[in-house]
Amino acid sequence: MNSLRERFTEYLMRVKAKNVARRLTHAINFPIQAASITKVLVILPRNLELLDRASNFVQSLRKTYPDWRVELFDVDKLSKSDLNSMNLPRPEILNKLRRAEYHFVVDLNDDSDDLSGYISLMTEAPYRLQLGAGSSVYSNIVYQPQEDVNKIYYDSLLGYLRKLFVRN
């Protein structure tokens, strides 16, 4: 059972997220030119078993889109001083991500992860992709990856991105 603090944190994240999502709502039409994307943030999976696959995906992403500047973010590397009393990133961390002006954020978590989704949305990137079924207030692109014995293959995600972000 979630503690009262955890439930309040979830509520607070959703309220903040809805306010930001409302402000960011705009129509997106695909495919778009890959050249319109220059900075990409990849949020690494919190499931350690997926890190090798995620690393391979990032390498492939960099090869497929060599003009994209791909940066990595590990939610689990946030220190206690980076988090507030509700275990959410402090405003300084979120402001730093926002000022980076990412165009596209890819959240590689295999399960819906509220904290990584929240961070993705708070970057205010125009394109935010999450893995998994269903929709989320945190993202505006949802992709259901191919699975095999509970292991996600990011190769199909790269193929999907090639359809969304086309190169000349």
Q: State residue 1's pLDDT score.
A: 47
Q: Give pLDDT tens digits for 19-78.
A: 777 777 666 788 999 999 999 999 999 988 888 999 999 999 999 999 999 999 999 999
Q: State residue 139's pLDDT score.
A: 86
Alpha carbon separation from 131 to 106, 135, 152 (Å, rounded): 8, 10, 10
Cβ pair 125, 40 in contact under 8 A: no
- Looking at per-residue pLDDT, the higher value among 1 and 86 belongs to 86
Q: State residue 142's pLDDT score.
A: 86
In the chain, at which residue ranges do the beta strands (DSSP E only) sit?
Answer: 32-33, 39-43, 69-73, 104-107, 127-131, 141-143, 147-148, 151-152, 165-166
User: What's the whole-model pTM score?
Assistant: 0.87
Q: Give pLDDT tens digits for 95-153.
A: 999 999 999 999 998 777 889 989 999 999 999 999 876 557 788 888 887 666 555 66
CATH code that applies to domain 4-166: 3.40.50
**Nearest-angstrom CA–CA distance, 101 and 109:** 22
Q: Which are the contacts of 103, defined by CB distance < 8 A and separation ≥ 6?
A: 36, 37, 38, 39, 40, 125, 126, 127
- Looking at per-residue pLDDT, the higher value among 15 and 1 belongs to 15
